[in-house]
Structure 1
Amino acid sequence: MSEVSVTHEPEQQRYEAHRQGELAGVAQYRLEGDLVVFTHTQVEPAHEGQGIGSTLAQAALDEVREAGERKVRADCAFIASWIDKHPDYADLLA
């Protein structure tokens, strides 16, 4: 399995996961004051079941934590479930 790279695309309000130069998934968000509201995560069908969504969630939440400016609201069911499974990220929730 090849490496997944995640980039932040703030002008599009999303994080993108790429594998072998191909867009494999996105985690979309919007900013609301001091919140990053994750609204939707989608993995392309050809990449499902390969950990792309988890890689996206972790990278996005790590970036929010590192910036230290905002809290998270997980309107996206996938991000909410991921945080539930990784309680060390619960401190990011508003």
Structure 2
Amino acid sequence: MNQSENNIVIERPELHRFELAVDGGIAAVYYRVEEGRLVLIHTEVPEELSGRGIGSRLVTGVFDLVRASHREVVIRCPFVAAWYARHLDYGDVVDG
């Protein structure tokens, strides 16, 4: 099974992003590191894949990875902010 079949979100620190491979495309959340926290700055889902819940799966995977690694995020991306407003159970991951 490939990554898209598993819906596995992976971190690519060398690119400062988290990725989800889906149907031949890559959805990504970009970040920068400030004072040990991940500042989530931008989310990209290929236009041809939009409207299929891929962004939500991506952000859920990001928050799960961050939680598992005992890190925190600062949200600066409007898409992530809107997602978080519907998933406040991830409050332990968000700083600020």
Q: TM-score range by the shorter chain?
A: 0.7 to 0.9
Number of residue equivalences: 91
Query: What 5-or-longer segments of structure 1 have no aligned partner?
Result: none
Q: Deviations over 1:20-58 (max 9, x none)?
A: 3x1231110111122110000011011001111011101
Question: What is the TM-score when the length of structure 1 is the normalising length?
Answer: 0.87
Question: What is the TM-score when the length of structure 2 is the normalising length?
Answer: 0.86
Q: Give the conservation status (yes or no) of the 8 Å contact 2:8–2:61.
A: no
Aligned to 1:84: 85
Task: Return the structure number with greater strand share.
Answer: 1
Percent same amino acid at aligned positions? 36
- Aligned structure 1 segments of 4 or more residues deviating by more than 6 angstroms: none
Displacement of 1:92 after TM fit? Answer: 1.3
RMSD, aligned CA: 1.4
Query: What 5-or-longer segments of structure 2 have no aligned partner?
Result: none
